[in-house]
Structure 1
Amino acid sequence: MNFPLYIAQRYLRSKSSNNAINFITIIAAVGVILGAASLFIVLSGFSGLKDFTLKFSTIIDPDLKAVPATGKSFMLSDKQFKALHDLDAIASYSKIIEERVILAYDGKNFPAFIKGVDENYNQVNAIDSVIIQGSWLNQNTNQMVAGWGVSNHLSLGVLDYGKSVTIYVPKPGTGQITSTKSAFNAIHCVNIGLFDVNETLNETYVYTPFEMSRELLSYKPNQVSAIEFKMNPNIDEDIIKSQLKAILGDTVIIKNRVQLNDALYKMLNTENLAVYLIFTLVLIIALFNVIGSIVMMILDKKKTLSTLYKLGASVRDIRRIFFYQGSLMAVFGGIAGLIIGLVIVGLQQAFSLVMITPSLPYPVAINFSNVIIVLLTISILGIIASKIASVRISKSLIETI
Structure 2
Amino acid sequence: MNFPLYIAKRYLRTASKNNAINLINGIASISIVVGAAALFVVLSVFSGLKDFSLSFSNDFDPDLKALPKTGKVFTVTPAQAAKLQKIEGVKMISKVIEERVLFVFDGKEQVAYLKGVDSLFGQVNSVNKTIFQGQWLEPNTTQVVVGYGISQKLSLGLLDFNNPFEVYMPKPGKGDIENPDEAFTKAVLAPVGIYAISEELDSKYVFADLRLAQILLNYQIDQVSAVEFKLDANADVDDVCEEAAKILPGIQIKTRAELNESLYKMLNSENLVVYLIFTLVVIMALFSLAGALIVMIIEKKGNLKTLTALGVEVNGLRKIFLLQGSLLSLFAGIFGLALGSIVVLLQQHFKLIMITPTLAYPVVFTFQNIAIVTLTIFGFGFLASLIASSRVHKTLEE
Query: How many residue pairs were aligned?
Result: 398
SS in structure 1 at match of 2:102: strand
Q: CA deviation at 1:232?
A: 3.3
Which of 382, 390, 397 aligns to 2:395? It is: 397
CA contact 1:98–1:116 (8 Å) conserved in 2: yes
Is 1:193 the counterpart of 2:189? The answer is no
SS in structure 1 at match of 2:315: helix
Percent of aligned pairs sharing the same letter:
49
Cα shift readout 1:219-242 (whole Å, capped 9, x = no counterpart): 122111000111234322221111
**Letter in structure 2 aligned against 1:323:** L
Is 1:272 the counterpart of 2:264? The answer is no
> CA, structure 1 residues 378+178, in 2 after alignment: closer, same or farther (shift >3 Å)?
farther
SS in structure 2 at match of 1:297: helix
CA contact 1:94–1:121 (8 Å) conserved in 2: yes
CA contact 2:286–2:380 (8 Å) conserved in 1: yes
CA contact 1:306–1:399 (8 Å) conserved in 2: no
Equivalent residue for 2:164?
A: 164
Q: CA deviation at 1:127?
A: 2.6
Is 1:361 the counterpart of 2:360? The answer is yes
SS in structure 2 at match of 1:255: strand
**Separation in 1, partners of 2:90, 2:211:** 23
Equivalent residue for 2:232?
A: 232
Q: CA deviation at 1:246?
A: 0.9
Equivalent residue for 2:372?
A: 373
SS in structure 2 at match of 1:9: helix
SS in structure 2 at match of 1:11: helix
Q: CA deviation at 1:375?
A: 0.3
Equivalent residue for 1:219?
A: 219
* Runs of 5+ unmatched residues, structure 2: none
CA contact 1:94–1:120 (8 Å) conserved in 2: yes
CA contact 1:169–1:185 (8 Å) conserved in 2: yes
Equivalent residue for 2:322?
A: 323
Is 1:109 the counterpart of 2:81? The answer is no
The TM-score with structure 1 as length reference comes to 0.96
Q: CA deviation at 1:60?
A: 2.1
**Letter in structure 2 aligned against 1:307:** T
* Runs of 5+ unmatched residues, structure 1: none
The TM-score with structure 2 as length reference comes to 0.97
> CA, structure 1 residues 256+104, in 2 after alignment: closer, same or farther (shift >3 Å)?
same
**Letter in structure 2 aligned against 1:337:** G
Q: CA deviation at 1:116?
A: 0.4
**Separation in 1, partners of 2:29, 2:266:** 35
Cα shift readout 1:67-100 (whole Å, capped 9, x = no counterpart): 1112221123343223224435322211100011
Equivalent residue for 1:259?
A: 258
CA contact 2:91–2:230 (8 Å) conserved in 1: yes
**Separation in 1, partners of 2:296, 2:85:** 74
SS in structure 2 at match of 1:386: helix
Cα RMSD after superposing both structures:
1.4
Q: CA deviation at 1:399?
A: 4.5
Cα shift readout 1:348-370 (whole Å, capped 9, x = no counterpart): 11221111011111010001110
Cα shift readout 1:251-287 (whole Å, capped 9, x = no counterpart): 2111122222222111111111110000000011111
SS in structure 1 at match of 2:391: coil
CA contact 1:165–1:188 (8 Å) conserved in 2: yes
CA contact 1:119–1:139 (8 Å) conserved in 2: yes
**Letter in structure 2 aligned against 1:30:** I
Q: Which moved more, 1:47-56 or 1:298-307?
A: 47-56
**Separation in 2, partners of 1:256, 1:26:** 51
**Separation in 1, partners of 2:389, 2:121:** 65
Equivalent residue for 1:87?
A: 87
**Letter in structure 1 aligned against 2:297:** I
Q: CA deviation at 1:102?
A: 1.3
Cα shift readout 1:93-126 (whole Å, capped 9, x = no counterpart): 1110001111110010111111100111112122
> CA, structure 1 residues 71+386, in 2 after alignment: closer, same or farther (shift >3 Å)?
same
CA contact 2:31–2:286 (8 Å) conserved in 1: yes
